[in-house]
């Protein structure tokens, strides 16, 4: 019998397993090309991308204006180190401060990722503890929230709540306390020994869970009262993802600001860049020359990509698109058979699917993973953040028609997933 020819994708995945560290497991596919909200794999199969590089590809793939901006910058000046600056770096800092509504004296630090932005924020918290001690001396505690995800470097991992991420690498940097996302737990945790509270306005990795109503405003009051910093991790929620530039603007009173904001993911629309915004001169003065740094952060190529991203989001009014298409997706998911809770914050949407199998069956063949696989077979890229939780984080350019295509396909996808999980 003649052997069937091996697909290009199968061959490449074998090479991946031979040459790359296995920290991500086996990739779902080998992607080779993208255009708009679609991508193609090495075998020529097309997919509608409702994952967006995990909330990164704000403009989809190969957006012409973004490509032009990056190409022109690459032909001019790509990297200059932190011993120099560039017009692009200065312009991007000015734009971010403007979008945040930050007062005079506010500043921006550029990094390469969300983890690095949160590392900078962690060091900011440490400096607050030393430079502004409480009645009993230096503040030594940083408070984070259960269900949070702040990154996988050692400092950001100390802030991350998930035990499975943390435990293999302990001991981690100390002084971090995790609390339940309740007002009662918040009020019990913030005292004069706390240097900072770091929190995501919406916990995306947990399955898209917002903070309780009034929680963030109470956090602002308590941190101000006790001399602690309020640091908001908007790595996933920032830059239009929720239909606003920043998710916190829907949770804090008008005019209220945090002390620091971390950004990444959608800021570069696919080009690696992170940022920490420090609000006001007092907070911005906590880190002085030589106390933090990065070789690649804020280089001309990355900042040109981010400037183009922000300009396109504004020019094309993409946040209005996020709000309107999010409603289409939310309305379509709500009441769909086998879909229970739907949690939508713009283009960060989590929904749960019913699984009536016993615990052993659920553990051995998670339904969420089966839904992702069935969706991929049907031509859609989704993400499971838990055994029965699906997350959508599509490009901000996804259209109503593309959303309706997913909604029309989902019932069959869920049926196929159940059959596969029960097999």
Q: What pLDDT is attached to residue 4?
A: 45
Residue 32 and residue 142 in one domain: no
Residue 268 and residue 353 in one domain: no
Domain presence at residue 3: no
Q: What pLDDT is attached to residue 6?
A: 65
Domain presence at residue 31: yes
- 273, 296, 316 — which closes off a domain? 316
What does the alpha-carbon distance between residue 30 and residue 10 come to, in Å, rounded to a whole number?
A: 9
Which residue, chain included where needed, has tokens 């009173």?
Answer: 253
State phi, psi for 5 to the nearest 5 degrees.
Answer: -65, 140
Domain presence at residue 267: yes
Residue 310 and residue 354 in one domain: no
Domain presence at residue 72: no
Supply the CATH number for residue 296's domain. Answer: 3.40.640.10
Cβ proximity of 258 and 279 under 8 Å: yes
Residue 170 and residue 229 in one domain: yes
What does the alpha-carbon distance between residue 242 and residue 8 come to, in Å, rounded to a whole number?
A: 37
Q: What pLDDT is attached to residue 1?
A: 37
Residue 269 and residue 328 in one domain: no
Supply the CATH number for residue 349's domain. Answer: 3.90.1150.10
Residue 258 and residue 121 in one domain: yes
Domain presence at residue 223: yes
SS3 sequence, the chain? CCCCCCCHHHHHHHHHHHHCCHHHCCCCCCEEEEEECEEEECCCCEEEECCHHHHCCCCCECCHHHHHHHHHHHCCCCCCCCCCCCHHHHHHHHHHHHHHCCCCCCEEEEECCHHHHHHHHHHHHHHHHHHCCECCECCCEEEEECCCCCCCCHHHHHHCCCHHHHHHHCCCCCCEEEECCCHHHHHHHCCCCEEEEEECCEECCCCCEECCCCHHHHHHHHHHHHCCEEEEECCCCCCCCCCCCCHHHHCCCCCCCCCEEEECHHHCCCCCCEEEEECCHHHHCCCCCCCCCCCCCCCHHHHHHHHHHHHHHHHCCHHHHHHHHHHHHHHHHCCCCCEEEEEEECCEEEEEECCCCCHHHHHHCCHHHHHHHHHHHCCEECEEEECCEEEECCCCCCCHHHHHHHHHHHHHHHHHHHHHHHC
Residue 265 and residue 323 in one domain: no
State phi, psi for 118 to the nearest 5 degrees.
Answer: -75, -30
What does the alpha-carbon distance between residue 172 and residue 197 come to, in Å, rounded to a whole number?
A: 18
Range of the domain at 361: 8-63+318-422
111-158 pLDDT, tens digit per residue, is: 999 999 999 999 999 999 999 999 889 999 999 999 999 999 999 999
Q: What pLDDT is attached to residue 215?
A: 98
Q: What pLDDT is attached to residue 116?
A: 98
Residue 312 and residue 323 in one domain: no
Domain presence at residue 1: no
CA distances from 196 to 227, 348, 376 (A): 9, 26, 42
Residue 334 and residue 382 in one domain: yes
Enter the pTM of the model.
Answer: 0.96
- 276, 299, 316 — which closes off a domain? 316
Domain presence at residue 70: no
Residue 228 and residue 174 in one domain: yes
73-107 pLDDT, tens digit per residue, is: 999 999 999 999 999 999 999 999 999 999 999 99
Domain presence at residue 47: yes
Nearest one of 185, 180, 200, 198 to 142, comparing CA atoms: 198
Residue 332 and residue 304 in one domain: no
What is the overall mean pLDDT for the chain?
Answer: 95
Residues of the chain with pLDDT under 70: 1-6
Residue 226 and residue 121 in one domain: yes
49: β partners: 381
- 316, 332, 353 — which closes off a domain? 316
Domain count of the fold of the chain: 2
Cβ proximity of 235 and 262 under 8 Å: yes
């Amino acid at each position: 019998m003649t052997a069937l020819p091996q697909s290009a994708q199968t061959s490449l995945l074998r090479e991946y397993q031979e040459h790359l560290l296995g920290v991500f497991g086996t990739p779902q596919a080998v992607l080779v090309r993208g255009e708009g909200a679609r991508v193609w794999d090495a075998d020529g199969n097309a997919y509608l991308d409702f994952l967006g590089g995990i909330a990164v590809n704000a403009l989809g793939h190969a957006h012409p204006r973004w490509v032009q901006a990056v190409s022109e910058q690459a032909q001019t000046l790509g990297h200059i180190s932190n011993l120099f600056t560039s017009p692009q770096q200065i312009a991007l800092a000015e734009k971010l401060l403007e979008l945040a509504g930050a007062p005079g004296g506010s500043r921006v630090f550029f990094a390469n990722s969300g983890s690095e932005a949160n590392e900078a924020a962690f060091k900011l918290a440490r400096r607050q503890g030393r430079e502004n001690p409480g009645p009993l001396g230096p503040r030594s505690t940083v408070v984070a929230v259960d269900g949070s995800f702040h990154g996988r470097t050692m400092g950001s991992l100390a802030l991350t709540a998930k035990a499975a991420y943390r435990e293999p690498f302990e001991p981690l940097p100390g002084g971090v306390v995790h609390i339940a996302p309740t007002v009662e737990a918040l009020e019990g945790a913030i005292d004069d020994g706390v240097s900072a509270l770091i929190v995501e306005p919406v916990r995306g990795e947990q399955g898209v869970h917002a903070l309780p109503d009034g929680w963030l405003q109470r956090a602002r009051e308590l941190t101000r009262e006790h001399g602690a910093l309020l640091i908001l991790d908007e790595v996933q929620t920032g830059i239009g993802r929720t239909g606003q530039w920043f998710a916190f603007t829907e949770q804090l009173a008008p005019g209220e600001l945090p002390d620091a904001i971390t950004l990444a993911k959608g800021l570069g629309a696919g080009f690696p860049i992170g940022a920490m915004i420090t609000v006001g001169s007092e907070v911005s003065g906590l880190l002085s020359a030589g106390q933090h740094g990065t070789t690649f952060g804020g280089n001309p190529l990355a900042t040109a990509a981010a400037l183009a991203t922000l300009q396109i989001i504004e020019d094309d009014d993409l946040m209005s698109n996020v709000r309107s298409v999010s409603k289409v997706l939310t309305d379509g998911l709500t009441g769909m058979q086998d879909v229970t809770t739907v949690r939508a914050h713009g283009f960060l949407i989590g929904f749960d699917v019913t699984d009536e199998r016993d615990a052993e069956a659920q553990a051995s063949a998670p339904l969420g993973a089966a839904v992702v696989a069935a969706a991929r077979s049907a031509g859609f890229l989704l993400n499971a953040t838990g055994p029965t939780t699906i997350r959508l984080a599509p490009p901000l350019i996804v259209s109503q028609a593309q959303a309706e295509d997913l909604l029309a396909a989902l019932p069959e996808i869920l049926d196929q997933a159940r059959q596969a999980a029960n097999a």
